[in-house]
Amino acid sequence: MLNLILFGPPGAGKGTQSELLMQHYNLNYISTGEVLRNEIKQGTVLGMKARSIIESGGLVDDEIIVQIIGNFIRAEARGDGFLFDGFPRTYVQAYILDGLLTRLQSSLTRIFILDVADEECTRRLLQRAREQNRADDNEQVIQRRLEEYHKKTLPLLEFYESSGIVTHISGMGTTSDVFERINTQMEAELSRRRINLILFGFPGSGRATQARLLAEELRLSIISTGELLQEERRSGSQTGKELDRYLQNGLLVPDEIVIRLIEKKLREEEGNNNGYIFKGYPRTLVQAYILDGLLRKQGSAISAVVNLQVPHLELVRRLDARSRTTARMPYDGSAATIVARLEEHETRTLPVLDYYSEQNQVIHADATGTPEEVFSRLREPVLKAVKRLK
């Protein structure tokens, strides 16, 4: 997800640039004031609490703000990220926002600060007051608003400066000039992001073929845990000898061993590609959490999850046909073992798919037909997802 904060003094053009960013990057707009007004209008419990505080002349406390913002984030997670306006306003709220985004397996992407001198902001606001006949925008009020902005923004900048995500943008020039500066920084930011795809699908859905085609198209490395295990087993290493005991006896390989092998592969391939396609991993919710952690250590995350969909009867037909070829797998031997394998996949893996669906990361693709037909169907949505992140 793209999560941006746009700071700027009154008159810097923050509203106009916010609109352009939302349209260009499909972002949900979060204004604390707007979200509060919406809760009050809907008459929710939180809205009524906030209304009572406001009517008594008080400030709505962070406990209510965080719940309202959190509800909005969960409800509006259909876009490609969020643009925050008016939140955070304090040091405490900056920590709160970090926590809210962490729950979404996300984080702040970039903070843009529109730099415009106070004299220029005053000139713009006085001009706007004359054009819109706004008597409340007089020089005294404008001065007070500018002082409040500087007083509240500096502590927040201290909070974020060490994170390396703060970018100052000159707010001078035309609207297009300013947006071009912001967009140049956004493109540079996104170009550093790596592509990480997970390929889901029942046995027989064609994951190996589609992984190869996607890897060629996007210059990705394929990480297949099955292949990693077999390579390590053949290496004769101490880990390989341990694996031999598990695999010969049909036992599940402990996650600790699999993690080490994936970490090793990530180190070997670093810098040689645009990212990775994970095939055969994760198979469980625990492994999904592990993969999130592995990628986070690299400053990366899952970009999209491709779910290859094939009717069960077609899967059985494909696996039965494969059992008579050199590509035969151990569970291809009979209808009973094939069905058992499909049932195991459904029981263990579908909850993982639900996990990624909740994060709006899943691309469902019809995987019936020839490999070329399947790839033509999934290529466009995958490229769209990648472009959105790149």
Task: Specify the pTM.
Answer: 0.62
* pLDDT confidence bin for 249, thresholds 50/70/90: low
Structure confidence by residue, pLDDT tens digits, 178-230: 999 999 999 888 777 789 999 998 888 999 999 999 999 999 999 998 889 88
Structure confidence by residue, pLDDT tens digits, 75-86: 766 667 899 987
Looking at the predicted structure, is the pLDDT value of residue 328 above 70? no
**In a domain? residue 266:** yes
382: Cβ contacts below 8 Å, ≥ 6 apart: 197, 214, 218, 304, 306, 363
More confident residue, 173 or 66: 173
Q: What is the pLDDT at residue 334? A: 64
Looking at the predicted structure, is the pLDDT value of residue 331 above 60? no
Show which of 137, 159, 191 is a domain's final residue. Answer: 191
Q: What is the pLDDT at residue 88? A: 86
Pure H helices in 61-174: 62-75, 91-103, 118-132, 139-161
Q: How far is it, in rounded angstroms, from Cα 220 to Cα 302?
A: 13
Tokens representing 174? 């035309």
Print the domain residue range for 238: 195-389
Q: What is the pLDDT at residue 50? A: 87
b/e sequence 41-60, b meaning 16+ C-beta within 10 Å: eeeeebbebbbeeeeeeeeb
Q: 250 with 303, same domain?
A: yes
Q: 253 with 377, same domain?
A: yes
Bridging pattern class, strands 304-309 and 362-366: parallel
Looking at the predicted structure, is the pLDDT value of residue 317 above 90? no
Number of domains present in the structure of the chain: 2
Show which of 175, 191, 207 is a domain's final residue. Answer: 191
Show which of 191, 215, 242 is a domain's final residue. Answer: 191
Structure confidence by residue, pLDDT tens digits, 359-369: 778 999 999 99
**In a domain? residue 284:** yes
**In a domain? residue 167:** yes
**In a domain? residue 119:** yes
- Average pLDDT (143-160) is 84
Q: 199 with 176, same domain?
A: no
**In a domain? residue 73:** no
Q: What is the pLDDT at residue 248? A: 72
Q: How far is it, in rounded angstroms, from Cα 144 to Cα 150?
A: 10
State what percent of residues in the chain have pLDDT above 70: 93
- Average pLDDT (30-59) is 84
| Amino acid symbol at 160 | Y
Question: Domain containing 177 — which CATH number?
Answer: 3.40.50.300
User: Residues, the chain, total?
Assistant: 390
Q: 153 with 243, same domain?
A: no
